Each structure stands twice: as C-alpha cells, then as structure tokens.
Amino acid sequence: RKAQIELEKEKNVNLERRRKDKQETDKMMAHNERLKEIKRERRDQEIRENKKYDDERDAIEERHEKQREEARERFIKRHKEKLDYIENCSKNLKKYMDTANHKEEMEVSERKAMYDKEMKERDENLERRRNSVLNSIISERKKKQIESKNNKKEKERLTKHYLRLAESALKR
C-alpha cells in the first residue's frame, strides 16, 4: 500500500513536471513566434522604405533629364535664330547690291568682300559651335546610356541584395 502511494506521488510529480515543461515550451514557442513576426514586420518596413527611396531617386533623375533636354532645345533654338538672322542679313545685302548704281557697286563690292569675309568667319565659327554642340549632345547621350546601364546594374545589385536578405531572414 505504501509503495503504491509512493508510486502515485511520483507519478503525480512526473505529471506536474511534464505539465510545467509543456507550459514552458508553449511559452517559448509563443515568444519565438512573436520574434519572427517582429522580424517580418521590420523586413517589410525596410523593403517599403527602400522602394520609396528608389521611387524618389527615379523621379529626381527623370526631372533632371527633362531639364537637360529642355536646356539643349533652347540652346539649339537660339543658335538657329542667329543663323536665320545672318541669312536674312545676307539676303538684304544682296538686294541692296542688285539695286545699287555702278559707282556705288565698287564701294559695295569692297564692303561685300569684307562682309563676306566676316560672314565666312562667322559661318566657320557657327559651324564650329554647331559641331561642338552636336558633339556635346552626342557625349551627353552616351553618358545617359552609360548612366542608364549603371542604374540598371545598381538596381539589379540592390534587388539581388534584398532577395538575399529576405532569403536569409526566411531561413532564420
């Protein structure tokens, strides 16, 4: 009888110990779940912040590119207006020379020779400027292409980085 009571007590102690161990295990599992949820929320927040940063950077780049394009167009338009003005002056001079009398033709021909020389110099200068503008536009486009490639590479690198972070977080 005494041995049976002793066995009963030991059995109850073991049951109580198992019940406490199970409570501890459940408590630890709940705690681990909360930690996992917090990590998930932090990771999601970080991804949202990074996406917001990328979107802002893309918007700024687009705005800057648009401004550069508008500046180029204004520059080209100004030089075209100057060329048109010079061409108009040349036409006016030709009309004047056609209507001038013989005595004035000698003076006009001298002036025309000087004017043509100046026009030739101006045309050469304008041609050089136009070529330099075209070269700068071409180099800008090349830079833009290189930047675009670099931006794509950077985006791919960041995407891979975040995927690795997400995978490592999921593994944990």
Collapsed DSSP state (helix, strand, coil) of residue 1: coil
Predicted confidence (pLDDT) at residue 148 exceeds the cutoff of 80: yes
CB proximity list for 47: less than 8 A, separation 6 or greater: 162, 166
Count of C-beta atoms within a 10 Å radius of residue 1: 5
**pLDDT over 80 at 1, yes or no:** no
Q: Which residues contact 79 (CB under 8 A, 6 or more apart)?
A: 126, 129, 130, 133
Q: Which long-range contacts (CB under 8 A, 24 or more apart) does 102-111 make?
A: none
For residue 48, pLDDT over 90 is answered with: yes
CA distance 93 to 120: 15
Q: Are 37 and 170 in contact (CB under 8 A)?
A: no
Instruction: State the average pLDDT over residues 23-27.
Output: 95
Q: What is the pLDDT of residues 69-112, one digit of tens each?
A: 999 999 999 999 999 999 998 898 878 767 756 667 677 788 88
pLDDT value for 12: 93
DSSP 8-state assignment for residue 100: S
Better-predicted residue by pLDDT, 111 or 37:
37
